[in-house]
Amino acid sequence: MPIIKNIVILTGAGVSAESGIDTFRSAGGLWEQHRVEDVATPEGFARDPDLVLRFYDMRRAAIQTKEPNAAHRALARLDAEWSGELLIVTQNVDDLHERAGARRVLHMHGEHLNAWCTACDVRSPWTAPLIDRPPCPACGTSALRPDVVWFGEMPYRMDDIYAALREADLFVSIGTSGAVYPAAGFVRGARDLGIPTLELNLERSQGSAWFDQTRLGPATELVPAWVDEVLGGA
Ligand SMILES: [Zn+2]
């Protein structure tokens, strides 16, 4: 087996699920009784901004009551101890990777705890509600929206992700189906580059066929075991 120096990890909803954070998928296509089209698209926001702002105010408040789990902590330990390159690309918009202590995290779908000013394009850390249209800390305009990538919008920093993949010796996907683009593109890209691919997931997914190896089980069990293995063999 070739020596592993650079690792790219993709994390998804399955990592945060055991911290009590659900998604529209786990909730059967509804989020707090709302349709995805109404609360997670630019069109929905244009149609009813109050509904969307209230919805994200609720999600933003909720994640601040959740705690990182053993999977987040194991990845933070890997981040701290791994001497090679490491990038944790997450589809999650919570801050549990960071609260566990991870530093090399890229939020491709944005972050609940940021507000994005559509007037000046500045992103500001944000923990409070947005429903009352507070002014942007940078420009003073009341034009803040959740800094979350909605359906139909472009995920963030795709160039950085592909650049990291090109240098990677291992691609690991954790708690994500791997069947939905652009995540599906990462594993296929890794395969095209001849990079070994590993999936850690609760159950076999549509994307499993693309991985060299799949391990099935809860993230809080699989991830600490895998991190022990990687650090032990390093
Ligand atoms: Zn602004």
Which residues are in the CB-under-5-Å shell of ion ligand 1?
117, 119-120, 136, 138-139
Instruction: Sort strands 123-125 and 110-117 into parallel, antiparallel or unpaired.
Output: antiparallel
Q: Specify the pTM.
A: 0.94
> Is 12 within 8 Å of 186 (Cβ atoms)?
no
**CA 195, CA 193: separation in Å to the nearest integer?**
6
Q: What is the pLDDT of residues 36-77, one digit of tens each?
A: 899 999 999 999 999 999 999 999 999 999 999 999 999 999
Q: How far is the CA of 137 from the centre of ligand 1 (A)?
A: 7
Average pLDDT, whole number, for the chain? Answer: 93
Q: How far is the CA of 161 from the centre of ligand 1 (A)?
A: 27
> Does the pLDDT of residue 234 top 60, yes or no?
no
Q: Specify the pLDDT at position 183.
A: 75
Q: Specify the pLDDT at position 91.
A: 94
Q: How far is the CA of 194 from the centre of ligand 1 (A)?
A: 44
Q: How far is the CA of 130 from the centre of ligand 1 (A)?
A: 14
Query: 3-class DSSP state for residue 77?
Result: helix
- Known catalytic residue at 109: yes
Q: What is the pLDDT of residues 143-181, one digit of tens each?
A: 999 999 999 999 999 999 999 999 999 999 999 976 667
Per 3-state DSSP, the chain is made up of helix, strand and coil in percentages (nearest 5) of 35, 20, 45
> Is 223 within 8 Å of 97 (Cβ atoms)?
no
